[in-house]
Structure 1
Amino acid sequence: MTAFRTLRNFKILFLTFLFLLPSCSQSPKELKEEAAKYFNQAVDYYSRGYYGNAKDLFIEVVEIEDELKLSDRSGDCFLYLGLIEYEFANYENALNYNNLAVKYFKQKFNRRSEGIALNNIGNIYSQLGHYDAAAAAYRKSLNVSQFSADKEGEAIAQLNIGSVYSERGDYQSAFDYFSRGFKQFEILGDLQGQAVSSNKIGEAYLRFGSLSDALNTFEFARETAENAGLKELIPSIMNNIAVSYFQMGDYNSAINALEYANAKLNQKEDPSTAWIIQNNFGDCYRMLFQYDNSIKSYNAAIAISDEYGEGLNSAFLKLKIAAIKLLQGKGGDIEALNEAEEMFSDLEDYFDEVQFMQGKMNALAGRALVYSYQKKNEDAYELMIEVQDMIKEHSFQISNQLTEYYCLSPEVASTLNLNIPFLKSKKYGELINFTAVVNERKKLNFLNSLNEFKFKTDSKNKAVDSLKELRAELNYLRFEIANEKGKSGGDRNSERLDNLIDRLDQLNLDNKNPFEDFINNEYNFVNSGVDQIKKRLKSNQLVMFYFSGDENITAIGLSQTKMFTETLDLFGESLSRQVNSLISNIERNDTVNTFALLNGIYNRLIAPLENKLTNVNEITFAPYFEDAALQYLPYHALITNSGEYLCEWKKVNHFSGLNQTKEKLRGGGKFIVADSFSENIGAEIIKPSHAAKETLLREDPSQLVLFVPVYFSMQQPTSSYIELSRDSVTLPGFNMSFGNLPALSTGSWIINNFFTDKQSSLKLLPQLIPSSSDIVISHYNIPEEYKKEASTVLLQGKGDYYKILDKKYLYWISYFHYLKLR
């Protein structure tokens, strides 16, 4: 659990005589005794939070020992001074003091303390997002501990290295180092170490999305902590268990775990865990639609947060309450709607004051939704345009050390429908433009989360590595400034705030993000707003957008010259149930029920538009990002009332943005990654192996067919990769991460094994492969032999895929053709 960090009231004690320089008449013995007295007093001040006084005394000790040519306590003074400078955000000074401590302890052959200083250096670099430097410091600490047979120091260093890998999304390496640390603690018989390391392993599983493994590991950590009588560890472990149940959708078990955690908690010793637990009670009740209990829990969390001056965290919690008030208000509770408006307005001002733009965006979007339900449609629309301008520079996502252990993130955008202000004000073209901007932001969020990129030149690879570190430090500094500004009264550390602002000013970047600028240039993203789409369309082409409202779905058709809209008699939840049933029937090859569903959905989605499709030969479907049902619907296989598939009546594609205006050089040749492929279609077969990744990067194929797992998740970008080696569990470096794909010029992809968390936008996948122009993805589970038969047709590219694929079995429906408009 992230340690709760707050500075006690920073007090200046006027100790007039204490800080006088020692008299020249004092003997060496007296000076040595005075240094010892100062050191003990400094340690006492440090432990009570009087960091300024402690700093002066530690420096005094160092100066006395330097005068006496002694160094009994100088090394420990350097360690404390490093910690104090870190508290005040003087990171360079903190690094300098810890480096002095390393030098001192190395000369004294004090390996244990040398390892502590190196770990402190790693912690500073890790906090700033300089993960390579952090890992290097931790490895030095590990080497020192191993050299001196310090098993505890060795275990701590391994946990720290694992934490760096976990932050970077390399969970397999994180598991490896956490497990090593656990084994060292096991050898030592250190139950506290075993509980902490197993809890870290569980957190890595949780981030990776392996929920059952996470739950089992947390249970082991809890049992270990309880057997050892380590009561202080149990609340945070139980909170992790609750989060695991929450992500499984078992909200009642999550509440039971939180009740157990709350019973074991000492709020004064661990206030951050206390407010996290209350927040998570609120999140669980919210998912159970127990809104009154949810608000009560959020208010309890706010009371604890306010008591310790954590204003920014309280604001996050108030966002959640405002969102619930909005949900109550749209159901007809006028008082709740008015309360939501007032809360969002106050939060907008607060986030603006502390310069936390993600929070301000969410508050603005919340207020826009309130206006929509108050029938102030123009006001709602104007606010959403303001939000749209902010999205270009900032993300809706609120993810930081305060929200890391929450069940639900505070952002309004993740739980409320931002289509509503546009739909109610009938601003349909503007809705398409807004969605385009949101999609660009989602792609950038995905790429911002990746930790490995590979471009075609070493200079670009070095540049992106440097910019990644700069991006991480910028994010950290901006959050810490907002967090410090949000603290109230004596809890605000003004010196720390000034140092954070100074460090940010030294970077001289205002609100810019050089990493995003670099990525935008390399990926050459093309905005897919209304005007840009129209320019790419031919006279007989149409793009169909679908947007879910509160009670129905709105269809928007966009052609070269005009736009039409139609409100459909179809509710989003009803469609979702039908699509889930449809997928199940297709995978069972249940033709009777599948045909009935395909025709029924056609009559509700397409039939009302038939008279507007007369002169259209090609339809590209572009469902709204957040609606999983619309994403997974096989539009090409919908059955018309004349009994033919839609793709037999019209040419059908799925939208994947616009082709880059500047075409990249294409690779050469066709390649298949598979264990075997019997058809002779002029393609080279690459078997999954350690060498597969390097082969693909070297050969740079123009067409690529994959019979290996492709994992893609917008929620967990660092868990997204192409599995190119059977040993990828133990050797993840042989996988092709999505950050490696810019090094390929492959334009045509056929993906036969696809995984998603059901919250990803499939249409964004091709846009995250810079050179791709069309991608065919099998979305459902189909037999292996049919994948190979279909891939032969797809790879040969004979005309319209859907007309050529064998329709004897339903499995052909699984293939979705994503195309960028040229």
Structure 2
Amino acid sequence: MNMKKFFLLFLSSILIVSCSKSPEKLKSESDKLFNQAIDYYDRGYLNQAAELFEKVVEIETTLGGIQRRANSCVYLGLINYQLSDFYQSMDFYQKALKDFQSQNDKRSELLVLNNIAGIHSLLGEYEEAIKIYSDVIGKSLIFADKESEAIASINLGDVYQEIWDFEKAFDYFNKAYDSYEVIGDVKGKIFTLNKIGELFIASKNFPNAIKSFDMAFEIINRNGINYLNQEIYNNIGLIYFYQNQISKAKEFFEASWKLKTTSESNQLILIAIKNNLGDCEYQSGSYSKAIEHYKEALSLSEQSYLKFLSPILQLKIGKSYEKLYFINHNESDKKLAERFYQFAVNRFEENRDDENLLKALTSFSSFYTRIGEKKKALKYYERIGDIDLNLNLKTDDHLKVFALKPDFDFNFLQTLIEEHKFNEAYGLIHFQKTKNLLEYFLRFRDFSFLNTDRKEILQNLKREILALNTYQNILRQELSLPSSQRIKEKYKIASKFCDEKSAKVKKYLESLSEKYSFLKPLVKRTDLVDLLSDDSKIFVEFYPGEENLFYFIIGRKGIFARTLKSDIVSLKFNSNILLKNFDQFSYDDIVNFSKDNLSWIIDDLYKEIEQKYPSAKEITFLINGSDLDFVTYLIFSKKLNGFLRNKYSVSFSFILNKISTEGQIKNFAVLKNAQLSDLRNLKSQHEQLVSKEKSTIKKPDIRIGLRDETKSEKVEGTIVNKNFDAIFISDELIMNEETPELIYFQSSGDKSTSSTKVVERFYLTDLLRTNPKFIILKNFNIEERLAYLRFLSLFELVQPVRFIFPITKKGQEISQNFLYNYKERVENKNQSEASLIFLKMIEENQKENLKSSLVWISFTN
């Protein structure tokens, strides 16, 4: 749980005002109770302290002692915060705030506002938190209170990082650094530089992360202090680990561990370092050494209040023993693997950690599949169906310092397919894909591009999920402790709010599933075939495992699945050869290469379709980020003596969905240079349909020396005046893997990072408001299919859109674009003329044979 900086208002800096008219006895009683309450609080007796502070508030209200009453309310806010009763905590802070404002106590007012904003953030009420933190920063400037400004800037940066807006997070961390530098707070500067480095790690900007950590070390060495050394060394180790420089990562993790006697160590960092050393050994294939480190980390976890991390380590130990078993074929390794897998499953279940429990069960089932024990594999698979959906919109601040996080292992699909449990096997894939889609979609800051009823459902769903995630993390931590170590009141409150929030999340999900049928399996067990309505349409999804290739055919007649024994490494290699050389291959090259290396895949698929789905006329390939995405369209079938498109209408989608996009195309638009214009009037550059301000790139902050990349603020209030049936996108898609809010388009030729150049962006949220039926992406780069997978999936929750994806083939004078599903060739036309011809062709021939053919369009530069 991301804990904001909360501050206690110490009495040494506050004047205690008593009412001269109050009885002396009440004054003396208030003094006694107040001091006793502080003593209870300092010793951790929270309930006893709360009772006394409440009595003090009553007495001071009678006496008119505003300052002490306010201070008591702050203590009550802190107590309720520690007990996880955040709404009660907020009430007490609001009372304290009112009193401090009446006393014109500006510093105390700012600190209490920080605490209030922190609770809003913790509950996922980010817009409220941003507003209050911004207010604190503004008032801090007026009052010249640099410390309050730094605190609010750090916390506001944290909020922006939580909502994946890394640019704004960086800005506010920089402001905090400036404030700490003004007041000469050395530790504050080191703390901020470490946060900036962690921000760059999260955004995968590793060079700038290293720069930030180097600056922190300069300050540490110059001042001769040991502050956050271990954390910084660990963070640098993570950078090298993520870049697959395992030996170098290991050096930094070891250096971090050696500092445990000289630095201010905390339990989490010690557990993380040992875990990360284990991860290095695991990645290097030294499984025995990995086990040693994992067991040391496990021992540290069990001795701490972070016992909820223990099953994660037990799961890793189980995986390591399994690896040893397949190397040495020692039965004791197999038994130890089984034992630790069981430990992990039991502990996750006890802690109500459903997300990690699901991952552990897939690992356990896959382990039994790999050792040939089908009955046990099925036994643990069946427990998966009992786990409720858990949507998670918050990053785990504890796991961010771990190199390897728990993940799914779907190799047990082989067992389900062998047992003809096709619906169950594909249901799990559909469930996980749909869950990931919804979690990513919910990272939009608002949903104003949707109609009112869907917007309200999604806003309410997001609010309740964020609050639920907070209480789930608290409950998980409490349940992981022995009952003697739990704070009973905290456990009770977290349980209560988990139940309340879960019920609300379920209600909003049910409402949402009525709008989007493919979400129904998230709410209740549903036969996926019920999502389909036409015998002529089938869906196909290829799913590469570690050793086998699985594929699924989904149609009205049912779900069928096959396991193809194959060399997965060779399969991925040949798929990538076909894609990466596409701009060099002629049509005959594509035929010959795919016939020689990949034809067997489509031959097997075609045989099963012919036998089991003879009425099929349309095939929709479901993409999932694997190396086979889009490749299936380019594979020549020996059995068919052609491509699948020669017999079927072939298209691609992200999810199983029966919504059709057929319909008339009455108007067209082109998105070029971040401007959306009517295609018919493109020659008239003055007739623009989008009102946008220009975003100016800020100059690098030379003193901090970290802002090296192009930077631009999102333009607020962009207005799109018209809806279009079809849009041709000439600009380059700039993806954001963390949040769809910051996906945008910009001119494909605009790569400048000049500090004086104006960069225009057209954001995805503005595109969504135009409600297009067809989108053509001219600059689609198939090698970046994971990014495009994210992009394409979003439209499943907005409106049905048929995408047409060119794979760019560049010549000396022209750019040729290979477009799926269409056949005619349009040459020697400029971009807008070719686009208009092409879109007219779509309009005139939507339901004809063009769907199963090709078109090459050559655009002049």
TM-score by length of 2: 0.78
Shift of 1:287: 2.3
Matched residue SS, 2:253: helix
Does 2:184 match 1:154?
Answer: no
Matched residue SS, 1:337: helix
Cα contact 1:793–1:805 (8 A) shared by 2: no
- Equivalent of 1:296 in 292, 299, 307: 292
Q: Report the AA paired with residue 747 of structure 1.
A: K
Structure 1 runs not aligned, ≥5 long: 6-25, 812-822
- Equivalent of 1:454 in 448, 473, 478: 448
Q: Report the AA paired with residue 461 of structure 2.
A: L
Does 2:485 match 1:491?
Answer: yes
Q: Which residue of 1 aligns with 2:703?
A: none
Deviations 1:446-467 (A, max 9, x none): 2244433224445654553343
Q: Report the AA paired with residue 121 of structure 2.
A: S
Closer/same/farther in 2, CA of residues 38 and 293 from structure 1, 3 Å limit: farther
Deviations 1:385-438 (A, max 9, x none): 4424636x2359995333233222224x1x553533324435345423332233
Q: Which residue of 2 aligns with 1:187?
A: 182
Cα contact 2:668–2:727 (8 A) shared by 1: yes
- Equivalent of 1:785 in 815, 828, 834: 815
Cα contact 1:547–1:623 (8 A) shared by 2: no
Q: Report the AA paired with residue 442 of structure 1.
A: N
Cα contact 1:712–1:719 (8 A) shared by 2: no
Cα contact 2:723–2:772 (8 A) shared by 1: yes
- Equivalent of 2:744 in 722, 736, 747: 722
Closer/same/farther in 2, CA of residues 47 and 272 from structure 1, 3 Å limit: farther
Q: Which residue of 1 aligns with 2:12?
A: none
Q: Which residue of 2 aligns with 1:584?
A: 580
Shift of 1:307: 0.9
Closer/same/farther in 2, CA of residues 363 and 612 from structure 1, 3 Å limit: closer
Closer/same/farther in 2, CA of residues 693 and 191 from structure 1, 3 Å limit: closer
Matched residue SS, 1:701: coil
Give, in whole Å, the separation in 2 of the partners of 1:664 and 1:603.
32
Please, what is the CA RMSD of the aligned residues? 4.4
Q: Which residue of 1 aligns with 2:804?
A: 776
Closer/same/farther in 2, CA of residues 221 and 531 from structure 1, 3 Å limit: same
Closer/same/farther in 2, CA of residues 174 and 515 from structure 1, 3 Å limit: farther
Give, in whole Å, the separation in 1 of the partners of 2:787 and 2:215.
32
Give, in whole Å, the separation in 2 of the partners of 1:657 and 1:71.
60
Closer/same/farther in 2, CA of residues 223 and 641 from structure 1, 3 Å limit: farther
Q: Which residue of 1 aligns with 2:763?
A: 736
Shift of 1:651: 4.5
Q: Which residue of 1 aligns with 2:336?
A: 339
Q: Which residue of 2 aligns with 1:10?
A: none
Cα contact 2:733–2:746 (8 A) shared by 1: no
Closer/same/farther in 2, CA of residues 337 and 688 from structure 1, 3 Å limit: farther
Give, in whole Å, the separation in 2 of the partners of 1:781 and 1:264.
54
Q: Report the AA paired with residue 636 of structure 1.
A: L
Give, in whole Å, the separation in 2 of the partners of 1:700 and 1:280.
51
Shift of 1:104: 3.0
Q: Report the AA paired with residue 509 of structure 2.
A: E
Closer/same/farther in 2, CA of residues 617 and 782 from structure 1, 3 Å limit: farther
After TM superposition, the structure 1 = structure 2 runs for residues 56-135 of structure 1, keeping only pairs within 5 Å, are 58-59=53-54, 69-70=64-65, 73-135=68-130
Q: Report the AA paired with residue 282 of structure 2.
A: R
- Equivalent of 1:319 in 315, 318, 327: 315
Matched residue SS, 1:606: helix
Q: Which residue of 1 aligns with 2:372?
A: 375
Structure 2 runs not aligned, ≥5 long: 6-21, 522-526, 694-714, 818-830
Give, in whole Å, the separation in 2 of the partners of 1:396 and 1:463.
17
Shift of 1:144: 2.8
Q: Which residue of 1 aligns with 2:619?
A: 620
Closer/same/farther in 2, CA of residues 637 and 563 from structure 1, 3 Å limit: same
Q: Which residue of 2 aligns with 1:710?
A: 733
Give, in whole Å, the separation in 2 of the partners of 1:621 and 1:441.
21
* Aligned length, in residue pairs: 780
- Equivalent of 2:856 in 771, 794, 806: 806
Deviations 1:655-686 (A, max 9, x none): 44444459899995211101399999747686
Q: Which residue of 2 aligns with 1:17?
A: none
Cα contact 2:691–2:719 (8 A) shared by 1: no
Q: Which residue of 1 aligns with 2:775?
A: 749
Give, in whole Å, the separation in 2 of the partners of 1:366 and 1:702.
46
Q: Which moved more, 1:207-216 or 1:113-122?
A: 207-216
Closer/same/farther in 2, CA of residues 711 and 52 from structure 1, 3 Å limit: same
Matched residue SS, 2:621: strand
Q: Which residue of 1 aligns with 2:513?
A: 520
Give, in whole Å, the separation in 2 of the partners of 1:457 and 1:678.
22
Shift of 1:87: 0.8
Matched residue SS, 2:399: coil
Q: Which moved more, 1:340-349 or 1:150-159?
A: 340-349
Cα contact 1:141–1:154 (8 A) shared by 2: yes
Q: Which residue of 1 aligns with 2:414?
A: 420
Q: Which residue of 2 aligns with 1:479?
A: 473
Matched residue SS, 1:420: helix
Shift of 1:167: 0.8
Closer/same/farther in 2, CA of residues 759 and 258 from structure 1, 3 Å limit: farther
Shift of 1:118: 1.0
Cα contact 2:689–2:720 (8 A) shared by 1: no
Matched residue SS, 1:586: coil
Give, in whole Å, the separation in 1 of the partners of 2:467 and 2:338.
35
Q: Report the AA paired with residue 736 of structure 1.
A: Y
Matched residue SS, 1:785: strand
Closer/same/farther in 2, CA of residues 680 and 229 from structure 1, 3 Å limit: same
Matched residue SS, 1:252: helix
Q: Report the AA paired with residue 302 of structure 2.
A: D
- Equivalent of 2:134 in 118, 133, 139: 139
